[in-house]
Structure 1
């Protein structure tokens, strides 16, 4: 039986992830931690959790807790993940895995040295929507894959205009970079799942909007070990009436188009015509990944598809683009 402790209990844990830990068999949540103790207490009371802390060490060292979920901003992921593993407790870390590739290496080194596993919340690897994309590729319906293209553009969030209280996702010391690090991490991990490791990458970055110091416009080219090539463009200062969330996979027999975030219908365009595929997500979108982790740690399932080893590769790609 897994008894989870949450380090961080903000918005992502309210519905996307938190309830899944109690819905999965042989798993429950026994403690939560947030620096603001009153908010931790409020979360615990609303979700029927018996203990709350305002100090991470107290939660990590609680003997009733035998697994840790780190749901803080990326800047503290490495610190808390390392502390949990050194305490002998498996850790599930929110994405991106850390605020830099170097910190990912640190986490994986400690996991290797302690023998305590680390998993990362790249739950798209387990969702029916993306499993359908993988199935259509694996069935050979697209022929030989030549390239993959990412196009992503959204307007600024209203909080981006508040210079005195900018969101943490655009503060490099907390997030690692800007919105690119937060959102493109899902895309690069997904491509890693579909095509394997990216071995070459180069990018260009810019700050066009001047709303914050982090990059807001990026373009990149990359190639996979398999030989497939790819490109991507991201804008976080697009016009208010312009939103693009699209990945195209182009093969010798057809094209597959789908979204990363809005789950628009999957479109497959081949000589047979255009086919449309729809898939439903679970109520708590991280459920299937959490379930696989719980089963594995309880000794009744295979190794989950999102580990610290696979997750670190997304950070490597993003860091290379930002360094370029």
Structure 2
């Protein structure tokens, strides 16, 4: 495998907000041959505080300065989606590999522009769909490929959440329900993980159709989405997402049905799933998830950049997830 960098990945992070406190960035200093060289945030007070708390020597308030820092040789974009395309273009122009938070961008078109920028710049583009690297989901993929539940017939996503009072109270600061920043509502934030994970299992999504609506009026974008989709393997899927549900109806469940059994799991729960096979006792599989949930995926990125492994989440696969979400929310009721 081609080695893109020399002997160490030296990360520069753009946007050290909440996701960088535990989920992602700390792992970069724990993985061998990987370390954080510099961080950036527009607020000088906040970026300085982050750098001091995490033992990072260099910090910036300007993205251009961090990207062009000669010590930095890889860029992690941890900003909201509206900045992803521009920052990816700048990093690629500087010849530095890009790791970008999910969803990859606000629209499929922006994703395509990001891929083009990285292709032109000759750098790889990775996306933070870290569930592709978590051990229980890797195990599910292995069971499917081994034929443990036979030929896959259908897959169904059922995600229902209530609107927390604090979400309503802080709408002005909640970029996840501002489509100009996020591309949509909680569907774009959460369903993106689910659709991408299923594409990891069954191949890219080739067809998708759906309906969306704003039923509760709690914010100014879709709060309910239903739809169907087809994977290149021929597996058929359906989804039902409601983010203004009742407490009684709350649900996070994905069901994969095969000709010989079924697999059930939560996307956002513990590291576990249940395997049900005809005429056998249910098998419950559980592992402890890493403290820094992105560790396995970031480790795979480091290995690919150093020529010793391969990352399962790239720009091409992540852009397909955006394409599917665009299709599922195209018809507004």
Q: TM-score range by the shorter chain?
A: over 0.9
Name 2:4's counterpart in structure 1. none
Counterpart-to-counterpart distance in 2, 1:109 and 1:164: 34
Deviates more, 1:271-280 or 1:188-197: 271-280
Answer whether contact 2:271 2:287 (CA < 8 A) is retained.
no
Note the alpha carbon deviations across 1:148-174, whole angstroms, 9 max, x for none: 000000111333322762511000011
- Note the aligned Cα RMSD (angstroms): 1.2
Match of 2:209 among 199, 202, 206: 202
Q: Deviations over 1:252-274 (max 9, x none)?
A: 11111001001263111112121
Please state how far the C-alpha of 1:280 moved relative to its aligned partner.
1.6
Is the Cα contact below 8 Å between 2:149 and 2:260 reproduced in 1? yes
Do the aligned residues in 2 keep the contact of 1:159 with 1:167 (CA within 8 Å)?
Answer: no
3-state SS of paired residue (1:314): helix
- Please say if 1:87 is aligned against 2:94: yes
1:227 — aligned with what? Answer: 234
Question: Is the contact between residue 136 and residue 271 of structure 2 (CA under 8 Å) also seen in structure 1?
Answer: no
In the alignment, structure 1 residue 169 sits paired with structure 2 residue 176: yes
Structure 1 residue 37, shift from structure 2 partner: 1.2
Structure 2 gaps of 5+ residues are: 1-7
What TM-score does the superposition give when structure 2 sets the normalisation length?
0.94
Matched pairs, number: 323
Superimposed CA distance per residue, residues 275-301 of structure 1 (whole angstroms, 9 cap, x where no aligned partner): 111122112111111111111112222
Structure 1 pair 294–160 and aligned structure 2 pair: CA distance change class (3 A): same
Residues 1-324 of structure 1 correspond to what in structure 2 (within 5 A)? 1-162=8-169, 165-263=172-270, 265-271=272-278, 272-301=280-309, 303-324=310-331
Structure 1, unmatched stretches of 5+, are none
- Contact kept in structure 1, 2:82 and 2:182, CA below 8 Å: yes
- 1:16–1:286 CA contact under 8 A, matched in 2: yes
SS of alignment partner, residue 131 of structure 1? helix
Between the aligned partners of 1:189 and 1:203, the Cα distance in structure 2 is 17
Distance change >3 Å, CA 94–CA 163, structure 1 → 2 = closer
Alpha-carbon contact 1:160-1:166 (below 8 Å) kept: no
What is the rounded CA distance, in whole Å, between the counterparts of 2:256 and 2:216 in structure 1? 30
